[in-house]
Amino acid sequence: MTTGNETISSAPFGNTILMVGATSSLAQSMCHVLAREGHSLILSGRDEEELNLLACDLVVRHNVPCLILAADFLSPDFTTESFIRNAGAFDHLIIATGTMGNGDPLSLSDIAFTSHINYTLPAQIATLAAMRFAEKKQGSIVIISSIAGDRGRQSNYAYGSAKAALTAFASGLRNYFCKHGVHVMTVKPGFTDTPMTWGMQSPLMAGRDYVAEKIIAAMVRKKDVIYVPFFWRYIMLIIRHIPEGIFKRLKL
């Protein structure tokens, strides 16, 4: 198999996409959509064995080049500078990292952990990639945020606040780098059938393959902000405008 950043296919490279958080279920679905369309992929995550399995599956199914870049974002030796440098050459970036934390809203360590994975780390990686893309006046960055960032709710406000920060960051990054030929897209998925929502029963739940297809299609069309499925835009519009006095009494 492979270790580090190694090619596992000799097929010629096309547009290369760095997928950060590649072993998450939604990211895996996006990888299959991209590979089916002939894109080369750099798969990044913490679990090297899982990365290898995903890479081999993509090569067998779609005959595209795949690299793996194992990286432990929580290691004291990790730096975003070395991470971007070790990734090599890539034309687009998709950031699909995320964690709900341990679910304890009063845990200070969990607030720090959730903020690091959902906001600080993606913001740093996206900034360095945008700077690189700006040098050649082209490139795109897709940042997976969440509808949870549209308004703080008692059920997951640590996660939601980190995603709110990420959404605001992506907006600023898009505004700053658009004049340099770099496109930044913010994605706000609603309830999606992933391990993060395991056990949740909702008629609004969307399949991860459906969500992946919509994200990649919007990436190609260079959308700025998308809700997936689309109706979450209107649901969250209503939720954002509920008066605070009423909102405090709701079990959301």
In one letter, which amino acid is 83?
F
pLDDT at 6: 40
pLDDT at 132: 97
Inter-CA distances, 239 with 103, 168, 219, Å: 22, 18, 27
Which of the pair, 103 or 33, is modelled with greater confidence?
A: 33
Other beta carbons within 10 Å of 20: 27
- The answer to whether residues 29 and 54 touch, using CB atoms and an 8 Å cutoff, is no
Q: Give the confidence band of 101 by pLDDT, cuts at 50, 70, 90.
A: confident
Q: What residue spans define the domains of the chain?
A: 16-247
- The answer to whether residues 80 and 128 touch, using CB atoms and an 8 Å cutoff, is yes
Tracing tokens 């199914």 back to the chain, one arrives at 61
Tracing tokens 């950031």 back to the chain, one arrives at 95
Q: Tens of pLDDT along 186-243?
A: 999 998 886 665 556 677 878 899 999 999 999 999 999 999 999 999 999 999 999 9
Long-range contacts of 36-39 (CB under 8 A, 24+ apart): 36/61, 36/62, 37/216, 38/14, 38/62, 38/64, 39/14, 39/15, 39/64
Inter-CA distances, 73 with 76, 82, 120, 121, Å: 8, 11, 11, 8
Q: Is the pLDDT of residue 84 over 80?
A: yes
- Enter the pTM of the model: 0.90
Quick one: which of 177, 165, 192 has its CA closest to 224? 177
- Given the candidates 3.40.718.10, 1.10.620.20, 1.20.900.10, 3.40.50.720, the CATH classification of the domain at 16-247 is 3.40.50.720
